Amino acid sequence: MDLTHRPRRLRQDRVRGLVSETSLEPSDLIAPVFVDATTDERRPIESMPGHERVPIAESVARVEDVLETGVEAVMLFGIPESKDPEGTRAWAEDGVVQEALRRITSETDAYVITDVCLCEYTDHGHCGPLEEELRSESGVAADGPACEPTMTVDNDATLAALEKIAASHARAGADMVAPSGMMDGMVGAIRSALDREGFANVPIMSYAAKYESAFYGPFRDAADGAPTFGNRRHYQMDPANAREAMREVRLDAEQGADVMMVKPALSYLDIISSVRREFDHPVAAYNVSGEYAMLHAAAEKGWLDLEAVATESLLSIKRAGADLILTYFAEDIAKQL
Ligand code: PBG
């Protein structure tokens, strides 16, 4: 055969590494860590095999385990000892994240990022204090009751709380803060609060395009942050929308976000790819709890090779354009690399 083009030439074992376009490094990975103020023992998270909630006293040991694998950064989530309608434990100087932060940053070299949100701290499980909203009910006859009151998160009251949380995390030693509540104006509010308090060098990684996704299920058990009523579609994005994600990222860029996150990752590779093309910020992707749980479940049944599918998933997220990946696979994959 007279074939000019034989792409298979470059797939031979000794050359394929030289021409590979994408690689995974432990330094690209961020490991989520759950610190739980309600317990003094480590508690496995059933729907996320290999992960556990650790008491504050074990937070340093937990982070040291992560560092040993070669992963250098962690994302800290807290489960507070008590909850209330406003989520006040989220900005307490002796709150769970604040206590863990002081220990971790003084005793380890980990780069510590904190999730800045209220859903684990409010007793209703929503990402901020609630207000009554008048919404027209669809299908209501013109002469019938036009509106029915429902509850939604009070955006602007939440901004004030997020400012207090971010500042308290920075005071306790956070290297970076990551607001995840999808409130309008959250990045700008946090940026000015940090600057005011003398933390101009603490970057913000915004959960810029965060979708209202069913893939967060296992996390909500892990962090005890499921909404007790309704859902998060008043503030998180509609999975049907792609252009809107560009608008969200643009707004966060204008407000000074340093890193743009897309979440979840695997069902949103098109969004990662568009953010990569349209913006010059570093792009992070959150390979969420459900994405982890489903691979584990299939592997447990013997239907998939866990290591292979996890590596392929993370590679696809990088190939789509992510620079950083938050993933529950971080430690396992880093160990193999
Ligand atoms: C909110 C938050 C959530 C996750 C990260 N930050 C949950 C939510 O929005 O319901 C989900 C992460 C995951 O599923 O792995 N603080």
Protein residue with its CA nearest to atom 14 in ligand 1: 216
Nearest to 284 by CA among 320, 241, 251: 320
Q: Which residues pair with 153 in a beta bridge?
A: 130
Indicate the SS3 state at residue 51.
Answer: coil
Angle between helices 155-171 and 96-107 (to 10 degrees): 30
CA distance 184 to 49: 35
Assess if residue 77 is contained within a domain: yes
Q: Which residues pair with 286 in a beta bridge?
A: 326
CA distance 180 to 172: 19
Could you tell me the CATH number of the domain that includes residue 53?
3.20.20.70
Assess if residue 148 is contained within a domain: no
**pLDDT tens column, 209-250:** 999 999 999 998 888 889 998 999 999 999 999 999 999 999
**pLDDT tens column, 92-116:** 999 999 999 999 999 999 999 999 9
Assess if residue 138 is contained within a domain: no
Residue carrying the six token digits 């792409």: 7
Protein residue with its CA nearest to atom 5 in ligand 1: 180
Assess if residue 7 is contained within a domain: no
Quick one: pLDDT at residue 139? 41
CA distance 172 to 164: 12
Assess if residue 3 is contained within a domain: no
Quick one: pLDDT at residue 295? 98
Q: Answer for the pair 71, 110: CB distance below 8 angstroms, yes or no.
A: no
Q: Answer for the pair 150, 179: CB distance below 8 angstroms, yes or no.
A: no
Assess if residue 182 is contained within a domain: yes
- Compute the distance from residue 322 Cα to the ligand 1 centre, in Å: 19
Question: Does the CB atom of residue 292 touch ligand 1 within 6 A?
Answer: no
- Compute the distance from residue 222 Cα to the ligand 1 centre, in Å: 10
- H runs (alpha helix) in the chain: 13-16, 59-68, 96-107, 155-171, 186-196, 217-222, 243-254, 269-278, 289-300, 306-320, 330-336
| Domain with 279 in it | 22-127+156-336
Assess if residue 80 is contained within a domain: yes
Q: Residues in the chain with pLDDT < 70?
A: 134-149
Quick one: pLDDT at residue 135? 59
The yes-or-no answer on residue 335 being catalytic is no
- Compute the distance from residue 139 Cα to the ligand 1 centre, in Å: 33
* Residue 147 assigned to a binding site: no
The atom number, within ligand 1, closest to the CA of 326 reads 15
Question: Does the CB atom of residue 328 touch ligand 1 within 6 A?
Answer: no
Indicate the SS3 state at residue 243.
Answer: helix
Kindly report whether the peptide bond that precedes residue 264 is cis, defined as omega within 30 degrees of 0. yes
Question: Does the CB atom of residue 117 touch ligand 1 within 6 A?
Answer: yes
Per the structure, how many domains does the chain have?
1
The whole model's pTM is what? Answer: 0.95
Quick one: pLDDT at residue 35? 98
Q: Which residues pair with 183 in a beta bridge?
A: none
CA distance 293 to 256: 34
Question: Does the CB atom of residue 115 touch ligand 1 within 6 A?
Answer: yes
Assess if residue 332 is contained within a domain: yes
